Structure 1
Amino acid sequence: MTIVSIEPATPDRWNDLERMFGPTGAYGHCWCAFFRRRAKDYTESVSCAPPERGRTNKETLRRITLDGRIPGLIAYDGAEPCGWVAVSPRSEFVRLTRSRALRPVDPDESGVWSVVCFWLPPRGRRKGLGTRLLDAAIEYARAEGGRVLEAYPVDTAGGRAPSAEVYTGTVRMFRKAGFTCGAHPVSGRPVARLDLKEA
């Protein structure tokens, strides 16, 4: 795999994103909408019978992309899309703004961005692509005026876990990228933060 570029998911790249996620929308008809929809709406979308399963999740991502709001970045192997990272201002993730377990730790939410999801096809795993996507997300958030980049990784204690369980990234991965990882003051869940103005 030769990564040629990592690009913002602009409207003209929607077909690439749709093709890369495939008919099941990456992780179980998610279409990277888990953090972008209310819990009830998301659950209804993934629970209904085919062919409607995941349709409203897909439509959520499609609408955001075609509106030009840039839901994340796409990695390309030649002309083929081969990896994804969701990165946007924290305020765009409905699940985060309504969550008790991940309520903001910063009293000033202006300029706080979040990385909430990675997706790599099987052939692209364990080859450093996730790290390259994270590096690109850092630079993108900084270039767009982000003040802090926040993430909600899984602590695997240095071991391995199935990809579907670590789609938010791992504590080890974020620490290697310079993030400070601590426990959320309410839930105790890992939260990784990087000051984009100092990094």
Structure 2
Amino acid sequence: MTQISIEPARADRFADAERALTGGGDGADCWCQWWMLAPQEFDATSIDERRDRLRQDLAAPIASALVAYVDGEAAGWVKVSPRPDQPRLARTRNIQKSPEPMDDPSVWAITCFVVRKERRSQGVASTLLDAAVEHARTNGARIVEGYPLDTAVKRFSTNDLYHGTLSSFLAAGFTETARPGAARPIVAKSLA
């Protein structure tokens, strides 16, 4: 039986974060900086600079991401932190349709999933999602939001699925709060 465990992404686990992020998809290029930088800033940074920025992010007192381990080996990643800590969210037109104030630090956002190719379809993403909700709750979130893709409306590449899927969020108890695009819902879960 496969054993999945989740730990906060911290500076002393940088090698594990690196392994989780480099197993397929854009993680090895983005280094979880997409939501942290304005578009021009992101484009102006090198992959090595983004990697260094992630290392700095992992030194924060409250983890902004979680790492999944399958049988003790780093296999997945989820970004979850207060929305104001992910500044590109406030600049993203679709996400501005959220009914919650963009500058409210009690609203946390789950914005990125990465699961290594060899560990997909093993429950890693759903375990990460559940853990992200608990991490947000433990650290004072009032609401946690997600911006998944509705794969029932449109097919997406595996790379695009870093947002998560609507079906996974609904199964985890989220409800749809807005639909700024045909296949682009906003979902939320109250933690109060």
For 1:8 and 1:177, locate their aligned partners in 2 and report how far apart those are by CA, in whole Å.
Answer: 20
Partner amino acid, structure 2, of 1:14:
F
Q: Structure 2 matches for 1:12-91, cutoff 5 A?
A: 12-22=12-22, 26-27=26-27, 29-45=29-45, 53-91=46-84
Aligned residues of 1:6 and 1:73 also touching (Cα < 8 A) = yes
For 1:26 and 1:8, locate their aligned partners in 2 and report how far apart those are by CA, in whole Å.
Answer: 21
Task: List per-residue Cα deviations over 1:53-88 (Å, max 9, x = no partner).
Answer: 412221221111123441210011233111111101
1:177 corresponds to? 172
1:106 corresponds to? 100
Aligned residues of 1:153 and 1:169 also touching (Cα < 8 A) = yes
* Identical counterparts, % of pairs: 38
- Structure number with greater CO (CA < 8 Å, separation at least 6) is 2
Alpha carbons of structure 1 residues 27 and 12: separation in structure 2 relative to 1, 3 Å: closer
Aligned residues of 1:11 and 1:65 also touching (Cα < 8 A) = yes
Task: List per-residue Cα deviations over 1:8-65 (Å, max 9, x = no partner).
Answer: 01221112112332398843501111111111111233xxxxxxx4122212211111
For 2:155 and 2:129, locate their aligned partners in 1 and report how far apart those are by CA, in whole Å.
Answer: 19
Partner amino acid, structure 2, of 1:6:
I
Q: If the length of structure 2 is used for normalisation, what is the TM-score?
A: 0.87
Q: If the length of structure 1 is used for normalisation, what is the TM-score?
A: 0.84
For 1:21 and 1:10, locate their aligned partners in 2 and report how far apart those are by CA, in whole Å.
Answer: 14
Unaligned 5+ segments in structure 1 are 46-52
Alpha carbons of structure 1 residues 25 and 179: separation in structure 2 relative to 1, 3 Å: closer
Aligned residues of 2:24 and 2:116 also touching (Cα < 8 A) = no
Which 4+ residue blocks in structure 1 deviate beyond 4 angstroms? 23-26
Unaligned 5+ segments in structure 2 are none
Secondary structure of 1:119's aligned partner: strand
